[in-house]
């Protein structure tokens, strides 16, 4: 299934994938798995993942 995202959503998803790849280096080697992991993480803990991203943007 193909889901088309708005440009801002693509950027945010890329940031989430990068963040999760930092936590799980194996996922970084398998982009499809990283995307799956991101979607699962968002469905389970959207506020925590996004708040970590916002904190990273404010305090790099």
Over residues 10-39, the pLDDT tens digits come to 777 777 777 776 766 665 566 565 556 556
pLDDT at 48 over 70: no
pLDDT above 70 covers a percentage of the chain that reads: 25
For residue 17, give the nearest of 3, 30, 7, 4 by alpha carbon: 30
What is the pLDDT averaged over residues 2-6?
65
Amino acid 31: pLDDT: 57
What whole-number distance in Å separates Cα of residue 17 and Cα of residue 31? 8
The residue extents of the domains of the chain are: 30-60
């Amino acid at each position: 299934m193909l889901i088309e995202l708005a440009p801002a959503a693509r950027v945010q998803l890329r940031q989430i994938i990068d963040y999760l790849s930092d936590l799980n280096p194996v996922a970084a080697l398998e982009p499809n798995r990283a995307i799956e992991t991101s979607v699962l993480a968002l469905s389970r803990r959207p506020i925590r993942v996004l708040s970590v991203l916002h904190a990273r943007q404010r305090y790099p």
